[in-house]
Structure 1
Amino acid sequence: MFTKWEDLGSLKYLVYAPFVVRGLVSSLGDDSMDWCIHVVILCALRATLYSCWTSYCNMYFLNRNRRIIQQGVDFKQIDKEWHWDNFIILQGMIASLGLYMFPLLTEVIPVWEPKGLIAIMILHIIVSEPLYYWAHRWFHGHYLFSRFHSFHHSSAVPQPFTAASATWLEQLLLTAVMGIPILGSSLIGYGSISMIYVYVLSFDFLRCLGHCNVEVIPHQIFDIFPVFKYLLYTPTYHSLHHTEMDSNYCLFMPLYDALGNTLNNKAWELHRTISINSGKNKCVPNFVFLAHVVDITSSTHVQFILRSVASMPYTTRIFMLPLWPVAFVIMLLMWAKSKVFLISFYNLRGKLHQTWAVPRFGFQYFLPFAKRGINKQIENAILRADRLGVKVISLAALNKNEALNGGGLLFVNKHPNLKVRVVHGNTLTAAVTLNEINEDVTEVFLTGATSKLGRAIALYLCRRRIRVLMLTSSADRFQKIQKEAPADCQKYLVLVTKYQAAKHCKTWIVGKWITAKEQNWAPPGTHFHQFVVPPIFTFRKDCTYGDLAAMRLPEDVEGLGCCEYTMERGVVHACHAGGAVHYLEGWTHHEVGALDVDRIDIVWEAALKHGFRPVSNKNNISPKQKSNVNINDI
């Protein structure tokens, strides 16, 4: 037996099955069951309405300057509101039960009755509004608030799903508030099917409006028609109820707060201020992580598509596949003309950190003719950050590709007077990768050995007297790197040109994508460390695979509600963390181009000092402390 409704999970939607079946029967000639189809359709439309409003609320690139509470929706709130649609199921069941008990209502009600809209509006104003107002004030009493209404107010940032999240007693009350005008209009002979659709969807629309946390109503409306501000609340008006909780109890009409002497006097002034400032950039981040889309399916892993999906590590989900054609069309439009856009943000140490995205997909970075356009977009993002006053901008994965822009060096050379610091974050990526290597390792096999990261890792390991088999076809590039190593350490760097050379080496560091055939050269028990994007496939069952270099954000991070690609909650790529550390430390240099091997330990210690923690290692010790192998033991 289920102890909670949530224990049913997705099986709760089977409640609709009888209505669908009865509706299908009605379509075959049993007209008395038409109400089943209307219940299912109306429930689907209501769920869609709430989802669309929530999607808009999370389109930060559209509404960032209109947001009322400048805080992100965190994982705790998302989990608490996970079953927000329970009330739709509840009200659908109540409506179906009522129509089943009184079948005459479904037989006489017409499709359209003009007087019905007027009747239901009057009943709403004189019955539903005051009923909700007094019941709402009642729920703010100590007894009912602590046992029921506090659940609704525990969400720090109002969103449409917050409006839908309440206890069963509150949902029953809301059902009565909605049902009285519908039932009353029907009983006096003015009911109609269209009236029910319009009223219920309008009711939900206004509920979403008040909880959207985005001020969408221009202040000029109230300047021209002052009386209108008593007839319709605004998102700002209702947000004050959530932040102060001792005023603004109305359903949709502030008139009742005015009559009940519970109207917050600063509501309309705050609304005017937010509306006037909507065209200004008030929320300037201190740090920006410039990400990019990996592939078409992963492009749907954002909060403004499905908040719940974005709050979990990315993986291909079957129910999301229908969105693929839409994402593909949008990709083409973005390819033609697009700008960098804001996709998420969080607060760390009281400072705003944002993630911007270059609207380019992973495969586009490898098209020769796309190189110029991509660099132009990255450059524009850097210049925009510079104009806004951003302190640090960190480049993700392919945005700092060596062949594309030399790890960001192109932009720093082109704009020598940049105030914003450009950071590729690879120094911390190297530190994380090195920290994962076991203390007893004496030999590693390194692919992507002559890349920025490969070079730094090779030089660091050889200084610790670890033999590095560097896979490369370029002897010149190998020799150049070898000459950078101290004279007594150069012999630990070994040039290899084939994967067969690593058939006895059980520690692989993968910086270049490798196939199943190439992985087969590794001996059983091999562990694959990797800093390649995208990560390699796990073909070998007798080997282990590390994740991409990542770090867990400090515990005091606020407003984080989405996962970064395949990372778990609260975990970001090491290059992202590297940029954040760069800002927190107040470093004034650019971190572009080749890695400074001498800074690997410095950056690592700084990350640990600020509360960042590696994901795959619990010891949290410096890489240099893990490599105390005596040279005579090699």
Structure 2
Amino acid sequence: MPFYDYIYNTMDKSSDTLHEKSIESKEEAVDVVHLTHLTSLQSIYHMRPGFAEFASKPYASKWYMRIMWPLSWLSMVLTWTYGSWFTAERNVMKKLRIQSWAIPRYNFHYGLNWEKEAINNLIVKAICEADKKGAKVVSLGLLNQAQSLNGSGELYLQKYPKLGLKLVDGTSLAAAVVANSIPQGTDQVVLSGNISKVACAVAAALCKKNIKVIITNKQDYHFLQPKIPEDAADNLLLSKTGIAKVWIIGEGADATEQLRAPKGTRFIPYSQFPPRMARKDGCTYSTTPAMSVPKTLQNVHSCENWLPRRVMSAWRVAGIVHALEGWDEHECGDMVLDMDKVWSAALLHGFRPVAEA
């Protein structure tokens, strides 16, 4: 027995080494990595390495958390000086080992021009480490895929064209979630906010479904025109009125813009971050693009930012589906996968629209 082996020094020390190596390899092995980052100063408490009580609930700024600002400020300074990502969550789905890694930067860092190089270096370091660990897919979450930062991930492919893993920005699934959130019978929608890659994909998809997409900004209208298939181009309209009762909104759709919508409007975000809910006169707001996860996705003990428990952002789900399907292509830069194919695959693996949760 091991106890007597220990007393009489007859233990096979190589077995200890083998055991330690096997544990280490199991801990390091990963198939899918989702790269996220910190958002507000209090967001670190809502991650699993923070407080379990906070992490198990959707993120919301609480009055009592304001008294913790000295600790929040200190954690911000420490993470700013920290030179690497950290593991925020580990999950398992079927045979996939899934991890969420957080870049130690906050939202405001991504708006600082002098921080862009440092942030890109942190992301590159994480991607290369994931590749080294044998990951099949890395999905870029939140501002880690910002067009102004890295061209929706295209920068990393140019820098490392021989990556063994696939980079996914999740545009196709995020757009599919939005497009499939439009109530049946809707014949026109207003699209308002900064025109992102997801917004372009949503507009094109709705126009192809013969739904009129109304743009209230002339510059945005001209930007979107070449993105719409020729046989559906007549469904993209420029109008200042915006009388439709379904509005698809992104960042930039401020309170003034939302007040132009008629009473009872349904606002559906296409942005990574939830919009400010400026209307309370019978208007409703959907969650940011997300899906509820199947029971086969295990170890989901924390909420992803502001989303409910067992609900994940479409960008995060996209990476998991990409790996489950074994797709051998990237989705970053200008590349957008077939929305119907991605949507069907997500449903096939048990992911569901949040409304069905």
Structure 2 length-normalised TM: 0.90
8 A Cα contact 1:443 1:505, kept in partner = yes
CA 1:560–1:488 in 2, change beyond 3 Å: closer, same or farther?
closer
Report the Cα distance in structure 1 between the residues aligned to 2:232 and 2:186, rounded to whole angstroms.
16
Equivalent position to 1:566, from 301, 306, 330: 306
Question: Does 2:50 align with 1:310?
Answer: no
CA contact under 8 A between 1:431 and 1:601: conserved in structure 2? yes
Give the secondary-structure state (helix, strand or coil) at the position aligned to 1:577. helix
Distance in 2 (CA, whole Å) between partners of 1:519 and 1:270 is 66
- Deviating above 4 A after TM superposition, structure 1's stretches of 4 or more consecutive aligned residues are 268-282
Aligned residues of 2:194 and 2:253 also touching (Cα < 8 A): no
Name the counterpart of 1:534: 273
Letter in 1 for 2:306: T
Counterpart for residue 386 of structure 1: 131
Query: Is 1:361 aligned with 2:100?
Result: no
Residues 119-198 of structure 1: pairs in structure 2 closer than 5 A: none
Q: 1:280 to 1:578 in 2, by over 3 A?
A: closer
Question: Which one of the candidate residues 320, 327, 346 is aligned to 1:580?
Answer: 320
The residue correspondences of 1:421-440 to structure 2 (distance < 5 A) are 421-440=166-185
Query: Does 2:234 correspond to 1:491?
Result: yes
CA contact (8 A) 1:461 1:468 kept: yes
Verify the 8 A CA contact 1:421 1:588 in the aligned structure 2. yes
CA distance in 2, matches of 1:526, 1:467: 16
Q: Deviation per CA, 1:435-481: give whole Å up to 9, x if none.
A: 11011111111123632011111111111111111244536xx4453
Q: Could you tell me which amino acid in structure 1 is paired with residue 287 of structure 2?
A: D
Query: Secondary structure of 2:304's partner?
Result: coil
* Higher helix proportion (structure 1 or 2): 1
* Residues 82 and 104 in structure 2, CA contact (< 8 A), matched pair in contact too: no
- Residue identity opposite 1:593 in structure 2: G
Inter-CA distance 413–495: structure 2 relative to 1 (3 Å threshold): farther
Give the AA of the match of 1:534.
F
The 5 A counterparts of 1:203-602 are 226=6, 273-275=18-20, 282-448=27-193, 450-472=195-217, 474=219, 478-479=221-222, 481-496=224-239, 500-502=240-242, 504-542=243-281, 543-596=283-336, 599-602=338-341
Q: Is the 8 A contact 1:289 1:576 kept in 2?
A: yes
Cα root mean square deviation, aligned: 2.6
Change over 3 Å in CA distance of 1:358–1:558 after alignment to 2: same
Report if aligned partners of 1:394, 1:424 keep a CA contact under 8 Å in 2: yes
Read off the aligned partner of 2:355 and give its amino acid letter: S
SS of 1:436's partner is coil
What SS does the aligned partner of 2:286 have? strand
**Per-residue displacement from partner, 1:522-573 (whole Å, max 9, x unpaired)?**
1101010002243112221121111111111111122221111111111100
Q: Is the alpha carbon distance of 1:540 and 1:460 closer, same or farther for their aligned partners in structure 2, counting shifts above 3 Å?
A: same
Cα displacement string for residues 489-542 of structure 1 (whole angstroms, at most 9, x for unaligned residues): 21211235xxx532x221110122333222211110101000224311222112
Q: Which amino acid aligns with 1:600?
A: M
Q: 2:340 aligned with 1:610, yes or no? A: no
Secondary structure, in 3 states, of the residue corresponding to 2:49? Answer: coil
Structure 1 pair 297/480, CA: closer, same or farther in 2 (3 Å)?
Answer: closer
Q: TM-score, structure 1 length as denominator?
A: 0.52
* Partner secondary structure for residue 34 of structure 2: strand
Gaps of 5+ in 1: 1-221, 230-265, 619-634
Question: Cα deviation per residue 1:592-620 (whole Å; 9 max; x = unaligned)?
Answer: 02353x701110000001111110257xx
Displacement of 1:587 after TM fit?
A: 0.2
Residues 430 and 453 in structure 1, CA contact (< 8 A), matched pair in contact too: yes
Alpha-carbon separation, structure 2, partners of 1:557 and 1:534: 24
Considering only CA atoms, is the larger Rg found in Structure 1 or Structure 2? Answer: 1
Could you tell me how far 1:425 is from its partner in structure 2?
Answer: 0.8
Aligned letter for 2:332? V
Quote the residue 1:261 is aligned against. none
CA drift of 1:277 comes to 6.0
Structure ranking higher on relative contact order (CA contacts 8 Å, 6+ apart): 2
Amino acid at match of 1:363: F
Cα distance, 1:449–1:310 mapped onto 2, change above 3 Å: closer
| Alignment length (residue pairs) | 351
CA contact (8 A) 1:379 1:411 kept: yes
- What one-letter code is carried by the residue in structure 2 that aligns with 1:389? G
8 Å CA contact 2:200–2:227 kept in 1: the answer is no
The CA distance in 2 between the partners of 1:524 and 1:343, in whole Å, is 41
| 1:169-214 deviation line (CA, Å, top 9, x unaligned) | xxxxxxxxxxxxxxxxxxxxxxxxxxxxxxxxxxxxxxxxxxxxxx
CA contact (8 A) 2:131 2:163 kept: yes
Q: Which whole-Å CA distance do the structure 2 matches of 1:283 and 1:337 have between them? A: 20
Q: Any conservation in 2 of the 1:456–1:595 contact (CA below 8 Å)?
A: no
Report the alpha carbon displacement of residue 271 of structure 1 after superposing the two structures with TM: 6.3
Report if aligned partners of 2:203, 2:228 keep a CA contact under 8 Å in 1: no
- The residue identity in structure 2 corresponding to 1:554 is P
SS of 1:431 mapped into structure 2: helix
